[in-house]
Structure 1
Amino acid sequence: MPADAASPDLLTLGRRVRHLRTRRGLTLDALGAAVGCGPSLLSLIENGRREPRLSLLRALADALGADVGDLLAPEAPDRRSALEIALERAQRGPLFDALGLPVVKPSQRLPMPVLEQLVGLHTELTRREEAAIATPEEARRANTELRLERQKRDNYFPEIEVVAEQMITQAGYSGVGAVTHRTVARLAGTLGFEILYVQDLPRSARTVTDLKNGRIYLPQASTPGGHGLRSLALQAVAHRVLGHERPRTYGEFLRQRVEITYFAAACLMPRTAAVDFLQARKREKDLAVEDFRDAFGVTHEAAAMRLTNLATAHLGMPLHFLRVGDDGVLFRGYSNDGMPFPQDVSGAIEGQLVCRKWAARAAFERRDRATEYYQYTDTPAGTFWGSVQMGSASADTPGFGVGAFSITVGVPYAHAKWFRGRDTRLRRVSTCPDPTCCQRPPAALADRWAANAWPSARIHQQVLAALPRGAFPGVEDADLYAFLDRHAPQGEG
């Protein structure tokens, strides 16, 4: 009988039969003759691989001087039997199959200390395997801890700033304008890496680094000259520059992602040039994310996030950043200015609904989504000014979600005077998290539709499943190693 959901009960039943048989000094042949069946069938029953018919079960109970209830008891008859059952179960699971090791039969000849050690090892392997799987709740907690840490330090990493600016300058950056692909390639070359663009990158990987042959593989760009490939190359390099080792936990994986993204941004928008640009615009009271974006040839989101690194440390102003989907869900956020982000009981903000009256959602109401949207929002924590740029993402676009999204950079009212768009007359009042603000429908509509509405809700599958496991979550080793083997220099595969 194949192992299935009933196997644990059959294992216990089998061990109870074996325990009673050996206690009475019966061989398999002798017991088989007493109950009218062959010894091979009895062996399968004792090993939990065959379920006996009720008539045979009664015959076994009679022959062994026991009741049927004794045979069906859920407890193992003794310590050794419990260990044998545990070893059998461990060796029938997918974790053991993945190890590719030979099966150890828990026979009576197996010494008790060896049996205890094997069961102990399997128990520890299972514990570590389960600990390696990050549930969505664990991931949110790890992300929240990291966000609060970044908030405490104003999202500024001076040690990464220094090394990034030194390396990009040594690679040939002049301090003016955008960092070129050639400059990024030179930087990688100083570390012994060549950048190659391929069409068959594993779907589960953004980049692949061949440490043996000094190669960084990137996807081929759909838009030549895009910021994305320069950032991906710099992120791959950052692991080496920052001395990263293989992540041992999901929290460590997230921390490394934050650090390599920071390094890439600090290379593409080097601190000295970026701060000079921003300070000049502040003096003119004409700060704008779109100008910062265009000056360094990056995406609007990258420029907005980079502003969170530099604004507090070098411009003396707190601020907040949001990326919000067209359904109002907050995908990513940062704040050190007191903007009251929605959050769950664990403190996580990702996946929470943003107030409909915030600029980040109000911008979706416009027909013209190409230009910046400016708005003041009165909240229980004070008045904030926000600048919003719209965008869209497809299934092939790196980032969060599919469809339209908004990128918001905002500051408290007192700091709005430094930004373009401060003269907007658009102003809304938000009292969230008070449900009467925007969550609770008007009483008249509720009375009319509450008993007559039955929507088909969209299920977010990632909420139900554990996150991909492994040192690099979601990356399939089989695809990764096959890719590296295909592209390795001849004779190196």
Structure 2
Amino acid sequence: MDSLATEPATADVATLGHRIRHFRTQRGLTLDELGAAAGVAASQLSLIENGKREPRVSLLGTLAAALGVPLAELLSAEPPDERAALEIELSRAQKGSLYGSLGLPAVKPTKGTPTETLEALVGLHRELARRASEAIATPEEARRANTELRERMRGEDNYIPDIEVLAEERVRASGHVRGALTHREVSVMAEQLGFELIYVDDLPRSTRSITDLENGRIYLPPASIPGGHGLRSMALQAMAHRLLGHERPESYADFLRQRLEINYFAACALMPEAAAVSFLQQAKKEKDLAVEDFRDAFGVTHEAAALRLTNLATRHLDMPLHFLRVGDDGTLYKGYENDGLPLPTDVTGSIEGQVVCRKWGARNAFARTNRTTEFYQYTDTPAGTYWCSTQTGSTADGGFSISVGVPFDQAKWFRGRETTARAESRCPDESCCKRPPAELTGHWSGKAWPSARLHAHILSPLPSGSFPGVDDSDVYTFLEAHSGA
């Protein structure tokens, strides 16, 4: 083909049309005059100048000769002048899906349209695009994105081999040999990437860490926080953005994917695959698998160990399983399953913010007087019988439980399989635990007016900014204050 599309260094059709018009008017030629000189009808030439028709290379050579300019100059990718650049940008913006979604008519500039008007219109389009790129998902959009990501990870057994390999390489390069990854080794990993870890007590409330790319610093909360387990993870997550080549997220789904990947990298670094799998396989061989032992062996939190188990159990132990983080009011905050456990969902398929069955071990564990040890329970559900191990904890926002469970035939590998605690769950049948007993309904129906406590972090949209949930103004003010440190 000899169309412009096959020429690697040519302008796009819109820019080309503007350049032809520019040189034609510069030489005082009408459409008819240039058309006659080039052997093309004025109407066809008008379509070319308006970017509605792509000329053949042979015609371009004729036009260049008629205009008295080198062909290379005619084919330059640069708009011929500032006004042409504005007209081209406006045309492209109005053809985009963002403007199209507004249902407004397109504005076609004429010779009489003031340049100031074009500048104002283009400026409005730029601001519209900027705000759209920074707009953060509504609650429904966030739940849908979460659901899509969870389903994708379930299809991959919650396992990302490329990140496993990368983490092993970086941990080995830090000099780590065995045992828990130390703060010093995490610092070495940062130094190898050109970063210094700095602990400060004035991080913006909307951030967990801030990476100063210009000065090679990663700012973290004070190192004196209890245990310091989270600091290693936060530092590793910040490094993961660089190691994984992340760019600024273009959508909420992109943000969620990046967050999952940095969390995955941190878990891989704190519990390296080879050592973690060796530990788990030995425990399975001894029929003594326990999240608390896995936790203690690598010096991490109970939740981190439980989540890491979901990465490795199916791929390396041939074991489907589920993970739940549930609030003391029954709200499900995090969940994963590839064992068929019927998790509660909303109409979008999202599980976050749903209430789990009162009969599940994730909720029964809160009724125990002694919560220092794991609680074990078998639960009969419409999908089969499951065994689970649950540990409770608390934060300033209230209590929570961490559960790891497996189908009945997999319980034989776990400590706590001898438990006699057993419950029956018929959820999602409302008669199981969501519908009050008939006697209480008859007594209290229409006589109570409770005030609901909203799960704001689940139902509210995140603040807008370059990164979801982060206040740009606070971040930039913080960096400016510390740039001279």
Q: Which amino acid aligns with 2:297?
A: A
Match in the other structure for 1:75: none
Distance 1:224 1:439 in 2: 39
Cα 1:469/1:282, change in 2 over 3 Å: same
Task: Give the secondary-structure state (helix, strand or coil) at the position aligned to 1:390.
Answer: strand
Match in the other structure for 2:185: 183
Q: Which amino acid aligns with 2:403?
A: T
Contact kept, 8 Å, 2:353 with 2:458, in 1: the verdict is no
Q: Which amino acid aligns with 1:271?
A: E
- For structure 2, the residue ranges without an aligned partner over 5 or more in a row are 1-110
Is 2:160 the partner of 1:157?
yes
Task: Give the secondary-structure state (helix, strand or coil) at the position aligned to 2:402.
Answer: strand
Picking from 307, 310, 317, the partner of 1:308 is 310
Residue 202 of structure 1 and its aligned partner are, at CA, apart by 1.4
Deviations 1:448-488 (Å, cap 9, x if unpaired)?
01021111222344566432112212222222122212222
Q: Which amino acid aligns with 2:319?
A: M
Cα 1:121/1:329, change in 2 over 3 Å: same
Matched ranges for 1:8-407 at <5 A: 111=113, 115=117, 118-119=120-121, 122=124, 125-126=127-128, 129-130=131-132, 132-174=135-177, 176-223=178-225, 225-394=227-396, 402-407=397-402
Contact kept, 8 Å, 1:179 with 1:268, in 2: the verdict is yes
Distance 1:389 1:465 in 2: 28
Distance 2:128 2:293 in 1: 53
Distance 2:358 2:480 in 1: 51
Residue 154 of structure 1 and its aligned partner are, at CA, apart by 0.4
Task: Give the secondary-structure state (helix, strand or coil) at the position aligned to 2:219.
Answer: strand
Q: Which amino acid aligns with 1:289?
A: V
| Structure 2 length-normalised TM | 0.74
Match in the other structure for 1:416: 411
Contact kept, 8 Å, 1:328 with 1:354, in 2: the verdict is yes
Residue 119 of structure 1 and its aligned partner are, at CA, apart by 3.9
Distance 1:478 1:215 in 2: 19
Match in the other structure for 1:431: 426
Deviations 1:278-325 (Å, cap 9, x if unpaired)?
000000000000000000000000000000000001111000000000
Contact kept, 8 Å, 1:248 with 1:471, in 2: the verdict is no
Distance 2:353 2:253 in 1: 18
Q: Which amino acid aligns with 2:175?
A: G
Contact kept, 8 Å, 1:319 with 1:412, in 2: the verdict is yes
Contact kept, 8 Å, 1:249 with 1:471, in 2: the verdict is no
**Which piece of structure 1 moves more, 216-225 or 335-344?**
216-225
Distance 1:370 1:113 in 2: 72
**Which piece of structure 1 moves more, 460-469 or 212-221?**
460-469
Distance 1:301 1:325 in 2: 13
Deviations 1:117-150 (Å, cap 9, x if unpaired)?
7446525643662462310110111111110011
Residue 214 of structure 1 and its aligned partner are, at CA, apart by 1.0
Contact kept, 8 Å, 2:142 with 2:252, in 1: the verdict is yes
**Which piece of structure 1 moves more, 351-360 or 463-472?**
463-472
Distance 2:206 2:354 in 1: 26
Distance 2:304 2:282 in 1: 20
Cα 1:301/1:456, change in 2 over 3 Å: same
Is 2:453 the partner of 1:453?
no
Contact kept, 8 Å, 1:322 with 1:409, in 2: the verdict is yes
Q: Which amino acid aligns with 2:214?
A: K
Distance 2:224 2:216 in 1: 25
Match in the other structure for 1:95: none
Deviations 1:73-112 (Å, cap 9, x if unpaired)?
xxxxxxxxxxxxxxxxxxxxxxxxxxxxxxxxxxxx9827
| Structure 1 length-normalised TM | 0.73
Contact kept, 8 Å, 1:355 with 1:432, in 2: the verdict is yes
Distance 2:256 2:237 in 1: 13
Distance 1:367 1:462 in 2: 29
Q: Which amino acid aligns with 2:153?
A: R
Distance 1:375 1:439 in 2: 21
Task: Give the secondary-structure state (helix, strand or coil) at the position aligned to 2:310.
Answer: helix
Cα 1:225/1:365, change in 2 over 3 Å: closer
What CA RMSD, in Å, does the superposition of the two structures yield over aligned residues? 1.9
Cα 1:464/1:298, change in 2 over 3 Å: closer
Distance 1:188 1:466 in 2: 33
